[in-house]
Amino acid sequence: MNKGGRRALLFGGVALVAGGAGAGWAWHRSRGEPPQPQASAGSLWTQRFARPDGSELAMSSLRGKPLVLNFWATWCAPCLKELPQIDRFHREFQPKGWQVLGLALDKAQPVREFLAKLPLSFPVALGGLDGTDVAIELGNMQGALPFTVVFDAQGTPRWHKLGETSYAELSEQARKL
């Protein structure tokens, strides 16, 4: 084999290893896992968000009970796919003291139209730019959707997932707390 062929083989091998490492890292990051040490509730509990009906939701009103906080948008296909599973979790775990909040990173009109077609049993608020900042504080460094965070009754983030979640994952997290 000539020098050019060995070099191409070497570069190809390095590229293959780098690609595999990147894919492994992406897989690892997309799994539901405990929030990293830098993830914190930060300013979450002082925030106030508009609701699609024009009222306001104070995050401080949700402290004291475990909470599932889901960041979503009407234009996000995986978000829309997971919402019925999150709604099922809410209906079944609300009697056990769990709360759920959907924080839509969207404008009011599309959210109202969506909720008219698919009503949800849990409260929805409009996150806007403040909601994006909160998601980043909670560990969503990519700024992608959907993003779900589970808090204990003291308001401490205990688990988060970037990407679509399921009823089974949320139920497992509820059992752990």
Burial of 34 (0-12, 13-18, 19+ CB in 10 A): middle
Q: What is the mean pLDDT of the chain?
A: 84
pTM for this entry:
0.79
**Could you tell me which residues come within 8 angstroms of residue 118 by beta carbon, excluding any fewer than 6 positions away?**
80, 83, 84
- The domain total for the chain is 2
Do 124 and 57 fall within a single domain?
yes
Q: Which pLDDT value is given to residue 127?
A: 95
CATH assignment at residue 135: 3.40.30.10
Is the predicted pLDDT of residue 31 greater than 60, yes or no? Answer: no
Q: Which pLDDT value is given to residue 20?
A: 38
**Which of 21 and 111 is assigned the larger pLDDT?**
111
Do 79 and 90 fall within a single domain?
yes
Question: Domain range holding 22?
Answer: 1-30
For residues 152-170, one letter each, b for 16 or more C-beta atoms within 10 angstroms of the residue's C-beta and e for the rest, the string is eeebebebbbbbbbbbebb
